[in-house]
Structure 1
């Protein structure tokens, strides 16, 4: 679960509960053509003097619910006369309007708007957009052989739609001074309260052949909330949401989804275009063109393009947003504005980029307003750039020491801050000094990150304090770790657990030492860690973003009474590079005991002489990982990676030998690669491939135990209908496909589309086998596979067919749940097997 999403969502839900419902104004109605009486779609409906509004749907219907006060509503549409109507604030009312046709003069040609079916053929607007498409390659920034510029980025968050009741709420009794910093410049008629700001200054470099890009971050400044959230990770997440919008790309990644650009090669098949007006933008004659989706639920934009009235057909300005019918959560409104300026050689280059997003549960109620503003200066075109600049990762952090000086930002910002923007730094500093604020933020963090910060130490994970399984019964655990306030170089962690039924204590103790001036939570990490753990483990259960004794995983299907008791000492070294390659060599020694109803016995167990008490597993290993241009959120325990266009590649190599006190000699190799593929408006597909092989003879505890799941929680990288310890292999290959349509199908179904459900299909296949060397049916000295009390085997070899399961599901149920129906297609005759089942996942997505 993304901590950043949880944190933002918690704030949204908190502030939304204070929305002033009693002051809500509701206006609904229908827009029609005065002459024909036909419904008019795409009519702009806005409260005068504000940015609050909507667009009429395909049947001409519209609806606005808002707490913003206005006495007049304005209706406008290209080719029609603008109409205003008086409304009454705080009331529910119906306003139906009929708009009258008008005509405009475009380049000395009179274009008369007639009410008729839209078509591309013979449409001057489509002919114009085709000319824009035809000139994309010469107008885009990538047309230059070399390009260099300075970039200033400012990301802000503010609480929006603030009512008097909200300001007077008891939760702000001790913090009322924050409302002295209300900003009335961001949204007309709607003051916002800034709560977050981050500024970044960087140099950018581009080379066409071979194509390469580089960003060198020179300076960063942000408010101090590092105690509660990872600032670097939060910035990565915001960049993942916003992305860099290049209107000349065919597809634009925005809000974690792929949108089709209005000037993509195939755009005329998905958009409608209307020539609206001719006007002058900074002394440049332009044609203003309105565009809108043919299907309002598809991932498409709507808004205005300003196209230069010359032979270049360049985009001078963009002013666009997204439709409210698109299947995106927590987002109530979007505004994207880009300005282009003409360079000395007459090319058009981006000068300003501003994206504003209203986050909230209900439109026009208290929520969060986020804005990213980027200014570009100092362009250098076609001046050769040194090859050394492009070496290494695409993004480098090279903080200029001068940026720590008090006056640095005043002289280096490309755009000055407003009074409210300046004040937010001191406001947050004041809040951080208040014990009551810190207590409340620590409680929020405890529920979103599962740790309670007590200063130099933090206790947790709190969701692991209690759990249940059939062998331990009720399991109680208490633990924690030190924080950077204790030491930036050294970190201690540990826990103590106790099972009521087995009457056994388990524990873990570890120490990690950072070999850089950074903490172990700051990338890139170079560290040395030593730990010792005595605890139980379920064979075949591998969890990525939680621990096995999480209370939410206590409920399991089928039989779950076979455990390992591990006594592990581990020593490893981790070295990460800025290009996101890392290596982690290490040594581990594990004295492993069978536990619960599991026994280590050889094939002639009837003689009673070959029951083995434990295994000595001593390994030298190295883990290699490469994730080009990876961005992630560094949580309290795990990293959450944000998908990009690059794969994540991992290779794990481990070896055991009698020379290092291992009971067996072997070499184990594991390889995996995963990536997300975006399929335009059809959604995205996550694909993961894995393979592994063991050289040497080992008993089944040292074979590959394939990831199984007997809980009712959906686990993306596990086989959700496979039982624990059901299959083992000494060589295997697998494929895991998870595709989300993002509501592409259901968004077109009346009534159902209002639920904003998202369709999901999954497919998982596992091929594997056990050679005779590692098969106890052929080797008497190896442990026999586990069986039940009746002697029926419970662990199997994947023979001549793969294990296959597939499913279909829905996500975004009540905005927070994913439910999958899964069917198992092979090995259905194995004992205690469910052929079908439902699995649920708690999931917050945009």
Structure 2
């Protein structure tokens, strides 16, 4: 936004924005006030579209100016614009590089509320001072292009223009994120199902510009102090206050806050890679940017007495994860960016987002350098990406004050976490917020808190949320107890036949410090009952589910298991996992008693201590037997081990959404590292073996902008001591038709056993980089995925079954042929190619096993696997 217009005007206009409006009108209404237009007297709304006169295609980012003034805006992704004008005779000019400008004069008499004016621009070559800018029909070149020469100057000087070039800086930051239900229609308001909620429509807000209606539904405010030191480089943000609307215990309000912060991250236009909407965009000032962006000089302007050039930038391929917009670059030898307005093409391969607009300004502080002074990010969401459909409009507004630069900061300021929240942040009263806000809330914004609180008290809403959570998360609340998960009530497998299960857990209304969970199950073929019971005691002042967790859990379980399979987010008896390929009848009955201690910290470091006694008894077609010294085979009734485990997990800056019985991680660029040591103690609680096991795990996402990102997982382990195969590492196989990222999708259950191993998993997501360049296919918004998995390992001589080792035989089939093997000199390998984003949620992989095809029942050919995943 322009410095010439006060922030209060901008925010006042934002409050009148209609989230019900078509994305088109919303976006330039934001841009209109990003230019800082102030209104005086009776106003008339001028709106319309800018199109190519030859093709009728919309012209995005066209300049629409009131001649003789600084008032103006830019067309959005749909070519639409809107201006608010005072009475009088005015001349409006529309222009864009590569087109002949068009001017229109009209009389604004003050009686018309809305005037529609469309512009049809003729494509042509255009000379701008000494710069020749080629039209759209001619081939764009970097060579001898003054616009490219200018951006290269910006790139060359950006390190000195970044705020990180200061030795020290500090400031006070006030952030506000608001979501509105947009494009509320009369038909929607009159639905019978909403009669109980008709009071919420008292909070509707109609945009004076678009005439559309919006309903505010969410507001989050935070105020913090930010400190930075260049040498050594350290940054600390201390959040003094947070306030947000919420839905009580129905959802993880902190998780929603974290997820929104991920979507609406701080944007630094000088960054090479810019994170937004859980994606990474190649920034327009990255060293590689001239290879992927087109740049054009539009015109010149003056900002705060500094002569600037308006530089336009757009993707060479509109489907790539790149931005388009304009930036004002100072011509004072600093080549600093003073103002930027940017969004992305409507053809971009991003789901559910119909438009995005970022507006930022940089001004001098304390006459020492440039700092960000205006920061507005608006995003329009629509499930089907319909231009006029009902959706969500979200805007993040950040203001900064009390800048202090190049003044030493006490090193104690940087102690603790890089992002620390005051213990009292969520408990401040209205007097704190009246002083802490940089500007008072509007009456509409104030009403959001009252409205959401009223909605939560409506019995129909409570019934709806309980039903929705039952369907989505699988739990149904009955007082202080919730029954579920529903997906496990019925399943089937070859050993149990039909399996029925019923269970549940206590809620926080039962106790904040204690939680109990239980279930009972019965198999109609094996005619055996299974059960589980656990008691969890929180060692903190919050409940057992709230991060960071510090608790002790005691549990007992009698259950049927597939050896080597430990699923993360779902239960093995989930109904959908009942469908499997190949034989699936080798299992064990496990009787487990354990005590588990977990201590998480906000730094990302977690300590886990565990004592477990496990008795494994063969089930189905699986048998436990061993060789005698004479070479005969004798059965073994069970394997009993007592294990002491210590684990460390380090996940810096980890964020997630906390569900009823799971966490959904919000992946970032930081690694996750785990170390685990297990000791088996013979004769302790009946343990039969002495052994040690060491495991290490590391996972990291690498962004390779603009061609996607790569997830890499490394894993390795070793077992010390002589033990039977149930206590060795049985590698994670997958015989379901669901694609599992860190399992071997073409490996059979129990197929490979190791006492030492190393593994690598590589998944690269192109995010449509290839498909986006193929005609017709690019309209489907599909995304390409390739994966590779490799496993090395084996068994040392002392753990290879035989008469000389007196060890348990590896599993065999009914005729005595082995079905489990040790890895040899070559690794197990499989690879896949996949198509993701089918119907926006489905991924389909074609998987090929590359080695050990000679093993019995090894899948030959290709396998098809499916995965459901919500993604932007």
* Superposition TM-score, scaled by structure 1 size: 0.89
Aligned match of 1:314: 336
| Contact 1:217 1:399 (C-alpha < 8 Å) held by counterparts | no
Higher alpha-carbon deviation: 218-227 or 136-145: 218-227
Give me the whole-angstrom Cα distance separating, in 2, the residues matched to 1:18 and 1:439: 30
- CA displacement, residues 164-209 of structure 1 (integer Å, 9 cap, x when unaligned): 1111122311101112112346984433211111111222121212
Equivalent in 621, 641, 658 of residue 665 of structure 2: 641
Check if 1:529 corresponds to 2:553: yes
Match of 2:52 in 1: 31
Equivalent residue, structure 2, for 1:781? 806
Match of 1:749 among 774, 778, 787: 774
Please report the RMSD computed on the Cα atoms of aligned residues, expressed in angstroms. 3.1
Aligned to 1:797, the other structure's residue is in SS state: coil
| 2:268 pairs with 1:246 | yes
Whole-angstrom distance in 1 between the partners of 2:582 and 2:167 = 63
CA distance in structure 2 between the partners assigned to 1:50 and 1:481 by the alignment: 59
Match of 1:146 in 2: 168
Q: Deviations over 1:80-126 (max 9, x none)?
A: 3247899xxxxxxxx99442769798xxx476766454333333322
Equivalence for 1:618: 642
Specify the SS of the correspondent of 2:595. Answer: strand
Q: Does 1:840 align with 2:866?
A: yes
Aligned to 1:679: 704
Give the SS at the match of 1:598. coil
Question: Is 2:521 the partner of 1:501?
Answer: no
Residue pairs, 1:297-696, within 5 angstroms: 297-360=319-382, 361-364=384-387, 365-400=389-424, 403-604=427-628, 610-660=634-684, 661-696=686-721
**Count, aligned residues:** 798
Over 3 Å counting, the alpha-carbon distance change for 1:85 and 1:473 in structure 2 is farther
Query: In the aligned structure 1, how far is the partner of 2:164 from the partner of 2:264?
Result: 21
C-alpha displacement of 1:211: 1.6
For residue 807 of structure 1, give the secondary structure of its aligned residue in structure 2: strand
| Other-structure match for 1:717 | 742
Kept after mapping to 2: 8 A contact 1:624/1:651: yes
Cα 1:122–1:564, aligned 2, differ >3 Å: closer, same or farther?
A: same
1:473-527 Cα distance to aligned partner (Å, 9 max, x none) = 1211111111111111111111111112222211111111111111122222111
Partners of 1:200 and 1:17 in 2: CA distance: 26
Q: Is the 8 A contact 1:460 1:478 kept in 2?
A: yes
- Alpha-carbon distance in 2 for matches of 1:788, 1:409: 71
- The corresponding residue for 2:12 is none
TM-score normalised according to structure 2 size: 0.86
Change (3 A) 1:437 1:40: closer
The answer to whether the Cα contact below 8 Å between 1:198 and 1:220 also exists between their aligned partners in 2 is yes
Contact 1:80 1:100 in 2 (8 A): yes
Give yes or no for contact 1:393–1:629 (8 Å, CA) kept in 2.
no
Partners of 2:850 and 2:295 lie apart in 1 by: 49
Is 1:197 the equivalent of 2:219? yes
SS of the equivalent of 1:801 reads coil
State the shift of 1:131 in Å: 2.3
Aligned ranges 1:159-198 → 2 under 5 Å = 159-184=181-206, 188-198=210-220
Distance 1:619 1:133 in 2: 57
Q: Is the 8 A contact 1:83 1:99 kept in 2?
A: no
Say whether the 8 Å CA contact 1:18–1:165 is kept in structure 2: no
CA distance change for structure 1 residues 321 and 605 in 2, over 3 Å: closer, same or farther?
Answer: farther
- Aligned residues of 1:402 and 1:408 also touching (Cα < 8 A): no
1:267-278 pair list within 5 angstroms: 267-278=289-300
Q: Which residue number in structure 1 is paired with residue 824 of structure 2?
A: 799
How far residue 687 of structure 1 moved from its aligned partner, in angstroms, is 0.3
Tell me how far 1:680 sits from its aligned partner: 0.9
> 1:407 aligns to what SS in structure 2?
helix
C-alpha distance 541-17 of structure 1, shift in aligned 2 (>3 A): farther
Worse overlay, 324-333 or 131-140 = 131-140
Shift of 1:674: 0.5
CA contact (8 A) 2:625 2:633 kept: no
Give the SS at the match of 2:627: coil
2:81 is the counterpart of 1:81: no
Distance in 2 of aligned mates of 1:216 and 1:733: 41
Is the Cα–Cα contact under 8 Å of residues 297 and 747 in structure 1 kept in the other structure?
A: yes
371-380 or 326-335: bigger deviation: 371-380
Q: Name which of 728, 732, 735 aligns with 2:757.
A: 732
How many Å separate the matches in 2 of 1:621 and 1:242? 40
Say whether residues 1:212 and 2:231 are aligned partners.
no
Q: 1:313 to 1:789 in 2, by over 3 A?
A: same
| Secondary structure of residue in 2 paired with 1:676 | strand
Deviations 1:397-449 (A, max 9, x none): 22346952232112101232222211111101101111100111122222222
Give secondary structure in 1 for the equivalent of 2:213.
Answer: coil
**What whole-Å deviation, never above 9, does each CA across 1:48-69 have from its counterpart, x for those lacking one?**
999996548xxxxx899xxxxx
Deviation digits for residues 230-287 of structure 1 (CA, Å, limit 9, x no counterpart): 1111122122222221111111122222211112222222222222233344565433
Q: Alpha-carbon deviations, 1:362-382, whole Å to 9, x = none?
A: 322111112222222222212
Please give the residue correspondences for 1:3-14 in structure 2 after superposition, counting only pairs within 5 Å. none
Instruction: Return closer, same or farther for 1:409/1:381 CA change in 2, 3 Å cut-off.
Output: same
Alignment of 1:10-89 (within 5 A): 31-32=52-53, 42=60, 44=62, 54-55=76-77, 76-78=95-97, 80-82=100-102
CA distance in 1, matches of 2:394, 2:209: 11
Distance in 2 (alpha carbons) for counterparts of 1:302 and 1:411: 38
Conserved in 1, the CA contact under 8 Å of 2:133 and 2:296?
no
Q: Classify the secondary structure of the residue corresponding to 2:100.
A: coil
Q: Retained in 2: the 8 A contact 1:808–1:820?
A: yes
- Native 8 Å contact 1:338 1:353 kept in 2: yes
8 A contact 2:353–2:385 mirrored in 1: no
Q: Is the 8 A contact 2:95 2:121 kept in 1?
A: no
- Residue equivalent to 1:133: 155
**Per-residue CA distance 1:199-231 (angstroms, 9 max, x = gap):** 112221212122222222211111121322211
* Alignment CA distance shift 1:138-1:28 (3 Å): closer
Quote the Cα distance in structure 2 between the aligned partners of 1:40 and 1:609: 80
Separation in structure 2 between the aligned mates of residue 656 and residue 368 of structure 1, nearest angstrom? 55
Alpha-carbon deviations, 1:734-780, whole Å to 9, x = none?
A: 00000000000010000000001100000000001111111113545
Label 1:186 to 1:420 Cα distance change in 2 as closer, same or farther (>3 A): farther
What SS does the aligned partner of 2:416 have? coil
Q: 1:146, CA displacement in angstroms?
A: 1.3
CA distance in 2, matches of 1:528, 1:621: 14
Superposition deviation, residue 714 in structure 1:
0.3
Give unpaired runs (5+ residues) of structure 1: 1-15, 21-26, 57-61, 65-72, 87-94
Match of 1:99 among 115, 122, 141: 122
Deviations 1:524-547 (A, max 9, x none): 211111011111111122212111
SS in 2 for 1:610: strand
Shift of the alpha carbon at 1:579?
Answer: 0.8
Cα distance in 2, alignment partners of residues 643 and 43 from structure 1 = 33
Distance 1:74 1:241, change over 3 A: farther
Q: CA deviation at 1:395?
A: 1.6
Structure 1 pair 602/85, CA: closer, same or farther in 2 (3 Å)?
A: farther
